[in-house]
């Protein structure tokens, strides 16, 4: 509505466009909710320390389009950043050894890979990310970043470890986990976030996955309810660990 657009029009932006600050006066709660929703739809996230909304890329061209038309077109690609607590649990289940050759598919903004790098030691980390903007950002932190659809990616290399949080919609996580498992070397280990749907749905795809998981002695554990709430989804999730 016009009131929401008026607030966004008055925002102050950092020189690089990665920080946007709302006008000085405190907004009524209902108005703030609408403004925040619009900014989050463009990738913004409120940051108390910075005193504004922080963005992964400069959104000002999108903001201008929003102000002109009152609408914004979104592409939903199943990206929900992996919370630090989830990454920490992944590493408790599968500690990262020195000399590991690691893959993070559908790496998003590298939430998992950044923690893995903190582990130290001689670790080689490769990332695959389909979204152009996120892949570009990943290259600021990692050298080996491949911008493509992971399900069509067929490298010659095989990995000792895979740490992953794939998209969940329409059982995409099943496809991603199975492909990642194929990219492990013998003796390799995969740990992945998955939605609960693959473990209770009765369709053929889910049933075949459960049969595969059972026959390969896959370890699973449910994550606490709301584990991904900070990332913007309430979907119930679990971790799986697969050894090849």
Long-range CB contact pairs, 117-125, < 8 A, 24+: 117/141, 119/91, 121/96, 121/97, 122/98, 123/96, 123/98, 123/99, 124/100
Long-range CB contact pairs, 180-185, < 8 A, 24+: 180/103, 180/105, 180/150, 181/242, 181/244, 183/103, 183/155, 183/157, 183/158, 183/159, 184/158, 184/159, 184/160, 184/244, 185/158, 185/159, 185/160, 185/244
In this prediction the pTM is 0.70
Which DSSP string do the residues of 29-64 spell out, in sequence order? HHHHHHHHHHHHHTT-EEETTTTEEE-SS--HHHHH
CA distance 111 to 23: 31
Q: What is the full per-residue pLDDT of the chain (244 aa) written as tens digits?
A: 899 999 999 999 999 999 999 988 788 999 999 999 899 888 888 898 999 999 877 888 888 888 888 887 665 566 788 999 999 999 999 999 988 999 999 999 899 999 998 886 678 999 999 988 888 888 888 879 999 999 999 999 999 999 999 998 889 999 999 999 999 999 999 999 999 999 998 899 999 999 999 999 999 999 998 888 887 777 889 999 999 9
């Amino acid at each position: 509505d016009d009131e929401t657009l008026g607030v966004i029009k008055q925002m102050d932006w950092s020189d690089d466009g990665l920080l946007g600050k709302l006008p000085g006066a405190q907004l009524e709660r209902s108005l703030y909710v609408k403004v925040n929703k619009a900014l989050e739809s463009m990738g913004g996230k409120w940051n108390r320390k910075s005193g504004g909304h922080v963005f992964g890329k400069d959104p000002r061209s999108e903001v201008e389009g929003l102000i002109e038309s009152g609408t914004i077109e979104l592409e939903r690609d199943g990206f929900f950043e992996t919370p630090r607590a989830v990454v920490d649990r992944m590493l408790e289940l599968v500690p990262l050894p020195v000399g590991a050759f690691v893959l993070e598919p559908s790496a998003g903004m590298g939430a998992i890979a950044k923690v893995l790098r903190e582990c130290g030691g001689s670790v080689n980390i490769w990332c695959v990310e389909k979204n152009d903007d996120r892949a570009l950002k990943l290259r600021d932190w990692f050298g080996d970043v491949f911008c493509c659809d992971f399900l069509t990616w067929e490298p010659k290399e095989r990995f000792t470890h895979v740490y992953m949080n794939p998209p969940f919609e329409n059982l995409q996580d099943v496809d991603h986990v199975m492909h990642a498992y194929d990219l492990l070397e013998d003796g390799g280990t995969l740990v992945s976030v998955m939605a609960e749907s693959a473990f209770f749905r009765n369709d053929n795809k889910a049933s075949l996955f459960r049969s595969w998981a059972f026959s390969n002695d896959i370890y699973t554990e449910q994550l606490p309810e709301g584990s991904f709430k900070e990332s913007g989804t309430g979907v119930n999730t679990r971790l799986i660990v697969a050894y090849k």
